[in-house]
């Protein structure tokens, strides 16, 4: 059962139909629209999207990535290559009703076209004269062939490095333009356009006959493209590697915090970076563990009941309320005591259940053993049924089921682990010869959020809330937050300190020691 | 009696005059000292502040001149004949006390009980504070 109110982040592969999900999405869409009408800028940043909040309806099970309501930006690959995914995405236009959605494909499509264009241009430069005025061309022997070879290899290198660097499925859609990427695309476009311009005016028009010059010209274009790729590598991949800032990420609901070191990034890129690490570093958000038990808090609520029998209550009402507040404040002093005992009691209960669980699991695991190939299968008197892992898991699950369920209830984890998932995990552990302790590791401590994600290719929707424009660079004192439905991550930026490293040489022979003196002399 | 090196110290002190006794070739005073700036202050059983590197009286020979002059075990010696003893090495302290040319040593000593005695008798708090 998919309870979005509690577990909004985790998409259970429910058997909901498309229509009901659409309906749910529409409800959520109105909710998210309200929340986005705030004073500070609130733009959507999405990791490849999970449609709990989205306006779109479900897609097929393809591994696609670009969801989002307000993305205006380039997501896909770079200016030098095309990805098949981009192309298929463009071609498979789904039921996007709002016209804003078309903008999303403009970026990757543009990038793909530009890179294709850039790669084909040198070849076009070479081929066009041959096609158009072959007879008039001066013959060009060995030097041209040398240039052909170098051109071919450079193009090959360009292709391979584009594939290696840029042909990766995008992991996030950013709310605003990725400045560096746009810059590079513009640069490539200008380069290629100016080369074509020059080519058209100086070569095609007058039907230039010096073929060697044309080949050299094409080679210079390929060189320029290689340098632009170097620039892209530095700007997109290398510049942010050297750490410059320390980000403190705090989850707003339970205060779990982590510190990370990042380099020079813009706010939106830093947000994506943080979210990458969030899924594997932060323990999963369990809303059931948040509040103090009602029994402690509610005691404060029963204060004094003050009845005023007087006609004019204005004079002494303030006095009375002050007395009430003071009395209530004095009474409140005991709740910390109760909290302490309640916590101790809770700990004790959890430990007791855990002990029972561990014993039950250990016992259960002793019931089966792996059958080796060379063992005699069975003797006629004691037939042994040979089981596959699934059946073995089911067989030993029964004795431990109750203890497991009670333990999960006590630690409020029962929503994260269904019986099916426990059976699957048990089967996995049996197959890999794990001990009971290894099996239990998943349940005894809350794992990182990633452990509870379903692999469905849909992403998660996060909203980046920031007072500064999200393409501005990180600097000291910046605070932005990443919001989901029911919790948010607040990120504070501090620069890493400048280190002044000095040097001190210690002679190895200088390590000498004496005994401590405590003499007493008589005078 | 804790003191910070370099800052003025405020203690109640007592003047004790000891006449040296001739014993064969030596002039003895009849007590033993411990401490000094080259010694380990943590081992001093008599000091309140374990970083105090002053000179302390560690033993008094019974029947000696020191006992007769009411020197007590655990006293901290502040001055000997005007020479400072709060910041001296152990050997220097010994030398100041065993100067063959002097017959009499005038010590300025302090101990905890002095302060309390003064407080009780005078009835007002120590003027140092």
Task: State whether B39 and A519 contact (CB < 8 Å).
Answer: yes
**Interface mutation target, options B16, B21, B33, chain A, most CBs of A under 10 Å:** B33
Select from B31, B39, B61 the Cβ nearest to the Cβ of A518.
B39
> Average of pLDDT values for B18-29?
88
Least confident of A92-101, A157-166, A187-196, A421-430: A92-101
- Residue A489 class from Cβ within 10 Å (0-12 exposed, 13-18 middle, 19+ buried)? buried
Higher-pLDDT residue of A19 and A152 is: A152
Residue with tokens 């809330």: A465
Average pLDDT (A430-454) is: 87
Quick one: pLDDT at residue A382? 61
Residues in chain A closer than 8 A to B97 (CB atoms): 523
Q: Which residues of A touch B32 (CB under 8 A)?
A: 520-523
Which residue would you say has higher pLDDT here, B17 or A377?
Answer: B17
Which of A36-52 are b and which e, b meaning 16 or more Cβ less than 10 Å from the residue's Cβ?
A: eeeeebbbbbbbbbbbb
Q: Which residue has the higher pLDDT, A85 or B81?
A: B81
- Closest chain A residue to B44, measured at CA: A518
Is B80 in contact with B48 (CB distance < 8 Å)? no
Per-residue model confidence as pLDDT tens digits over B41-82: 888 888 888 888 899 999 999 999 999 999 999 999 999 999
For A260, A366, A370, A377, A385, the CA distances from A382, given in Å and listed in that order, are: 60, 18, 17, 10, 10
Query: Who contacts A477 (Cβ-Cβ below 8 Å, separation ≥6)?
Result: A493, A494
% of chain A surpassing 70 pLDDT: 69
Q: Which of A169, A188, A175, A174 is nearest to A76 (CA)?
A: A169
Name the strand (E) or helix (H) holding A353.
helix A335-365
Decide if B13 touches A, using CB distance below 8 A: no
Nearest CA to A282 out of A446, A449, A412 is that of A449
Q: What does the pLDDT average to over B26-32? A: 90
Using 50, 70 and 90 to split pLDDT, how confident is the model at A273?
Answer: very high
Q: What is the mean pLDDT of residues A449-470?
A: 78
**Residue A225 contacts residue A115 (beta carbons within 8 Å):** no
Q: What is the pLDDT of residue A13?
A: 40
Cα→Cα distances A395→A400, B55, B56, Å: 10, 82, 81
- What's the CA gap between A170 and A85, in Å, rounded? 10
pLDDT, greater one: A256 or A20: A256
Higher pLDDT, B7 or A362: A362
User: Are the beta carbons of A521 and B39 separated by less than 8 Å?
Assistant: no
Conformation bin of residue A165: beta by default, left when phi > 0, alpha when psi is -120 to 50: alpha
Does the structure show a pLDDT above 80 at A58?
no
What CA–CA distances, in Å, run from A26 to A51, B27, B69?
A: 10, 107, 102
Q: What per-residue confidence (pLDDT) applies to A209?
A: 83
Work out the pLDDT band at A412, boundaries 50, 70, 90. confident
Quick: pLDDT tens for A473-523.
999 999 999 998 888 999 999 999 999 999 999 999 999 998 887 888 988
Least confident range from A229-243, A280-294, A343-357: namely A280-294
A306 has a pLDDT exceeding 70:
no
In angstroms, the separation between the Cα of residue B1 and the nearest Cα of chain A is 21
User: Residue A404 pLDDT more than 70?
Assistant: yes
C-alpha B97/C-alpha B106 separation (Å) is: 10
Which ranges constitute the DSSP H helices of A292-334?
294-301, 314-331
CA distances from residue B104 to A398, B18, B25, B93, B98 in whole angstroms, order as listed:
98, 6, 16, 16, 10
Least Cα distance to A519 among B40, B47, B85 occurs for B40
Q: Report CA torsion sign: A242, A244, A245, A246.
A: positive
A516 contacts in B (CB within 8 Å)? 39-40, 43
Range of weakest confidence among A78-82, A441-445, B31-35:
A78-82
Residues 71-110 of B with CB under 8 A from A: 90, 94, 97-98
B31 touches A: beta carbon within 8 Å: yes
User: Helices A142-166 and A211-232 sit at what angle, rounded to 10 degrees?
Assistant: 20
Average pLDDT over residues A165-188: 83
Tokens found for residue A78: 């770079």
Examine the pLDDT at A320 and tell me if it is beyond 70: no
Of B25, B24, B43, B27, give the one whose Cα is nearest residue B35.
B43
Of A517, A520, A521, the CB nearest to B38: A517
From the list B33, B40, B43, the residue facing A523 with the nearest CB is B33
pLDDT of res. A17 = 41
Token pair for residue A461? Answer: 């929707």
Determine the residue of chain A that is closest to B42 in CA distance: A518
CB A452 within 8 A of CB A10: yes
CB contact under 8 A, B32 and A520: yes
* pLDDT reported for residue A198: 92
Per-residue pLDDT, A332: 57
Which one has a higher pLDDT value, A455 or A177?
A177
Q: Do A523 and B94 touch (CB under 8 A)?
A: yes
* pLDDT score at A334: 75
Contact A518 B38 (CB under 8 A): no
pLDDT at B16: 92
Q: Confidence band (pLDDT; 50, 70, 90) for A370?
A: confident
Q: Which residue has the higher pLDDT, A434 or A33?
A: A434
Q: How confident is the model at residue A54 (pLDDT cuts 50, 70, 90)?
A: very low
The pLDDT mean for chain B works out to: 87
Q: What is the pLDDT of residue A69?
A: 43
- Residue B18, judged by CB atoms within 10 A of its CB (0-12, 13-18, 19+), counts as buried
| Structure confidence at residue A57 (pLDDT) | 34
Q: Which residue of B has its CA nearest to A515?
A: B40
Question: What number of CA atoms fall less than 13 Å from residue A289's CA on the CB side?
Answer: 20
Distance from CA of B58 to the nearest CA of A (A): 8
At A220 the pLDDT is: 93
pTM: 0.62
B62: CB partners within 8 A, 6+ apart: none
Interface of A with B in 458-517 (CB under 8 A): 516-517
| Dist. CA B122–CA A20, nearest whole Å | 94
The whole-number pLDDT of residue A111 equals 80
Residue A260: strand pairing partners: A247
Q: Residue A263's closest CA among A289, A283, A245, A275? A: A245
The owner of tokens 């303030």 is A318
Radius of gyration of chain A from Cα atoms? Answer: 34
Q: What is the pLDDT of residues A354-369, one digit of tens each?
A: 999 999 999 999 888 8
Q: Is A523 at the interface with chain B, CB within 8 A?
A: yes
For residue A514, the distance in angstroms to the closest alpha carbon of chain B comes to 12
A457: left (phi over 0), alpha (psi -120 to 50) or beta: left
- Cα A308 off chain centre by: 59
> How crowded is residue B80: how many other Cβ atoms within 10 Å of its Cβ?
22
pLDDT of residue A293: 60
- Cβ–Cβ gap B32/A518 under 8 Å: no
Question: Does the pLDDT of residue A32 top 60, yes or no?
Answer: no
Query: Could you tell me where the beta strands, DSSP code E, fall in A334-443?
Result: none
Q: What is the pLDDT of residues A126-173, one digit of tens each?
A: 888 888 888 877 888 888 889 999 999 999 999 998 888 877 777 778
Residue A289 confidence (pLDDT) above 80: no
Residues of A whose CB is below 8 A from B36 = 517
For B23, name the nearest residue in chain A, comparing CA atoms only.
Answer: A523
């Amino acid at each position: 059962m998919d309870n979005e109110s509690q577990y909004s982040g985790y998409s259970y592969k429910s058997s909901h139909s498309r229509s009901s999900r659409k309906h749910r999405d529409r409800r959520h869409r109105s909710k998210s629209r309200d929340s986005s009408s705030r004073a500070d800028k609130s733009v959507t940043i999405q990791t490849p999207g999970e449609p709990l909040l989205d306006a779109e309806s479900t897609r097929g099970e393809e591994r696609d990535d670009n969801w989002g309501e307000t993305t205006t930006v380039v997501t896909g690959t770079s200016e030098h290559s095309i990805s098949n995914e981009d192309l298929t995405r463009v071609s498979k236009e789904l039921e996007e009703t709002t016209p804003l959605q078309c903008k999303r494909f403009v970026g990757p499509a543009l990038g793909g076209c530009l890179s294709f264009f850039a790669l084909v241009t040198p070849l076009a430069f070479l081929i066009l004269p041959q096609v158009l005025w072959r007879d008039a061309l001066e013959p060009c022997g060995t030097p041209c062939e040398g240039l052909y070879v170098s051109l071919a290899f450079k193009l090959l290198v360009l292709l391979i490095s584009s594939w290696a660097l840029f042909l990766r499925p995008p992991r996030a859609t950013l709310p605003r333009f990725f400045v560096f990427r746009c810059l590079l695309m513009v640069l490539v476009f200008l380069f290629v356009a100016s080369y074509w311009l020059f080519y058209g005016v100086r070569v095609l028009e007058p039907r230039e006959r010096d073929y060697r010059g044309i080949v050299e010209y094409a080679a210079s274009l390929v060189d320029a493209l290689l340098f632009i790729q170097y620039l892209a590598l530095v700007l997109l991949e290398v510049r942010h590697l050297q750490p410059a800032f320390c980000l403190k990420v705090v989850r707003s609901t339970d205060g779990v915090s982590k510190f990370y070191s990042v380099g020079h990034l813009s706010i939106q890129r830093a947000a994506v970076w943080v979210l990458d690490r969030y899924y594997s570093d932060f323990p999963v958000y369990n809303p059931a563990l948040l509040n103090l038990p009602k029994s402690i808090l509610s005691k404060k609520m029963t204060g004094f009941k003050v009845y005023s029998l007087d006609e004019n209550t204005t004079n002494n009402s303030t006095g009375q309320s002050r007395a009430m507040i003071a009395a209530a404040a004095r009474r409140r002093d005991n709740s910390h005591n109760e909290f302490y005992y309640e916590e101790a009691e809770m700990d004790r209960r959890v430990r007791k259940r855990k002990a029972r669980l561990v014993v039950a699991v250990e016992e259960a695991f002793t019931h089966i053993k792996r059958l080796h190939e060379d063992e005699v299968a069975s003797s006629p008197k004691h037939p042994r049924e040979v089981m596959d892992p699934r059946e073995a898991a089911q067989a030993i699950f029964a004795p431990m089921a109750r203890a497991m369920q009670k333990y999960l209830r006590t630690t409020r984890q029962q929503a994260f682990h269904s019986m099916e998932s426990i059976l699957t995990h048990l089967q996995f552990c049996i197959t890999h010869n794990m001990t009971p302790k290894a099996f239990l590791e998943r349940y005894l401590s809350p794992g990182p959020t990633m452990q509870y994600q379903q692999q469905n290719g849909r992403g998660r929707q996060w909203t980046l809330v920031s007072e500064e424009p999200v393409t501005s660079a990180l600097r000291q004192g910046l605070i932005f937050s990443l919001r989901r439905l029911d919790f948010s991550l607040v990120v504070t930026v501090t620069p890493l300190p400048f280190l002044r490293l000095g040097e001190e040489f210690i002679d190895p022979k200088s390590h000498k020691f004496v005994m401590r003196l405590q003499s007493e002399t008589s005078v | 009696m804790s003191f910070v090196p370099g800052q003025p110290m405020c203690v109640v002190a007592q003047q004790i005059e000891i006449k040296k006794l001739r014993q064969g070739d030596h002039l003895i005073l009849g007590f033993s000292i411990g401490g000094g700036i080259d010694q380990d202050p943590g081992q001093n059983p008599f000091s309140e502040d374990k970083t105090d590197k002053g000179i302390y009286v560690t033993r008094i020979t019974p029947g000696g001149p020191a006992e007769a002059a009411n020197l007590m075990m655990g006293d901290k010696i502040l001055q000997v004949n005007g020479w400072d003893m709060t910041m001296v090495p152990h050997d220097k302290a010994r030398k100041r006390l065993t100067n063959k040319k002097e017959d009499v040593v005038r010590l300025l000593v302090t101990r905890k009980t002095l302060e309390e005695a003064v407080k009780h008798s005078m009835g007002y708090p120590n003027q140092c504070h």
